[in-house]
Structure 1
């Protein structure tokens, strides 16, 4: 049974959905930024805005965190709304639990910037980290929603190019299928308080229209991509979200392809559950689990 705080988070999402201004992107962006209110401000974390190879970004640096390991985070929002500012507090909680610093990037948004501008920015930030002396094997590519797609996509893109890939991937509440046709889109529609199929198709239109890239193209639709060659990957989703099937199906295909993949579900969890960091006990417990997994995959000792 979900706790009171988890239920309150679902209510917050429902209220946000009631305020969603259809067709007005500028207002949608303003409304989406309210999601930052869900997370508490973690203690013992400092922030600094930087230019990460031409990509605006925020460092979140917990006290006593490893100077050699970094989480490279891609935010949610369907590539149309949201920002590094919305995700800052939630990712800082995860970085603190993992004992690593995090680089939270602000990739370009559609429709002003069409795909693959967003993925290009993620790759540019990764290369910037390498130029700053970070070893690829000590970088974890992370993200949620469309950012969860980009977290995986970065590793696949680098592998295709024959380049060094991140040491691990953490994909939370991922949106992999741009066609939005998994059966959970229907079966979970009454449970998901944030997403609808129409919203997601609208986002994909804004991202892809005029590019010649179809919704089924494996460069953006990871339901059609070959996951072979991925580094150790954790996929963590909320069992109330319409995209639950995306997470489950991709993990199954990755496992069959020989990937070291771990799949976890947050019972009662909504899409982008990570945003409740510091306020919802079940989410904080999932953060501890994700942090422990990342440390183990990167060869760091467990945190007491």
Structure 2
């Protein structure tokens, strides 16, 4: 499989200010979505409604590319789908994608559009895990599903050194948990990790501090914390796989992190960046001015989404090429 490299001409720098459409999207989100998300009860009906609403929103503003092929997977506890963008074939390299939305709302299907664009830009198939959701399946269901799915992927013949783990929001927490578990169990690590608006601090302490500086247009820290509590119910905040820490001496793959400057989880992105670097690891951080949570998933709404994904794709090509070159030298 030939990994596509993004042309240098397409890799413009991170813009210094948001586009007018991005500013308008943030304003409309603050007027509509934030008020609704804060008021909706987190009972059975409320969760059902949120799932349908987000699925509709993602489908409207981030649909799959035309020509995308989707292959469902259901093997024991491993559930998900292979997404191949136009012209992309499966081989021994892949992106392993972990969707977000608070461990409660989204699915492989809602993120099919984002997966198709990553596949198209990188030339790689994307396996999106349909992990079990809370409140039906609280912690550690999602984390366990991710770990088992990653090991299944390797057993299927995909080389760990030719895998990039990617994720957004709560998927960022699951991704960090996975590579920390890989280090603990001496499981082969992926070539790299790409995260969009990662949620790291499940107490939302950092997000609340950021919220006092600038209000997130999508949801309040208090409302988001209640959503996450559906997953963490009955667990102490300092449970080892909930309060994640990268300690010096733990070898992790290189990270590439993007966050929006208008979102409260920009604080989590900065925290992750500092934590990985303090532990001796490599982490590139991009905070996009004026952008909201996981703007990369909404290319029909936010013009900067395409450039952000191209920059992420360039990182994927770079770490996979370096991993392949290292493997060649060893052999």
2:161 match: 137
1:61 match: 84
Which one of 17, 29, 36 corresponds to residue 19 of structure 1? 36
2:26 match: 10
User: Is residue 265 of structure 2 the alignment partner of residue 226 of structure 1?
Assistant: no
Contact 2:33 2:219 in 1 (8 A): no
Name whichever of 177-186 and 114-123 sits farther off: 177-186
CA RMSD of aligned residues (A): 2.0
1:43 match: 66
3-state DSSP class of the match of 2:321?
coil
Kindly indicate whether structure 1 or structure 2 has the higher relative contact order, using CA contacts under 8 Å at least 6 residues apart: 2
2:56, 2:122 → 1: CA distance? 26
Following TM superposition, by how much is the alpha carbon of 1:52 offset from its aligned partner in structure 2, in angstroms? 4.9
Q: Which runs of 4+ in 1 moved over 6 A?
A: none
- What TM-score results when the alignment is normalised by the length of structure 1? 0.90
* Long gaps (5+) in structure 2: 1-16, 324-331
Contact 1:204 1:215 in 2 (8 A): no
Larger Rg over CA atoms: 2
- Matching of residues 1-304 of structure 1 within 5 Å: 1-11=17-27, 13-14=29-30, 15-20=32-37, 21-23=40-42, 24-36=46-58, 37-62=60-85, 63-65=87-89, 67-182=91-206, 183-189=209-215, 192-210=216-234, 213-222=235-244, 224-226=245-247, 228-277=250-299, 279-299=301-321
1:136, 1:176 → 2: CA distance? 24
Provide closer, same or farther for how the CA distance between residues 296 and 53 of structure 1 changes in structure 2, counting only shifts above 3 A.
farther
Deviations 1:126-158 (A, max 9, x none): 111112110111111110000011122111111
Following TM superposition, by how much is the alpha carbon of 1:221 offset from its aligned partner in structure 2, in angstroms? 2.4
- What TM-score results when the alignment is normalised by the length of structure 2? 0.83
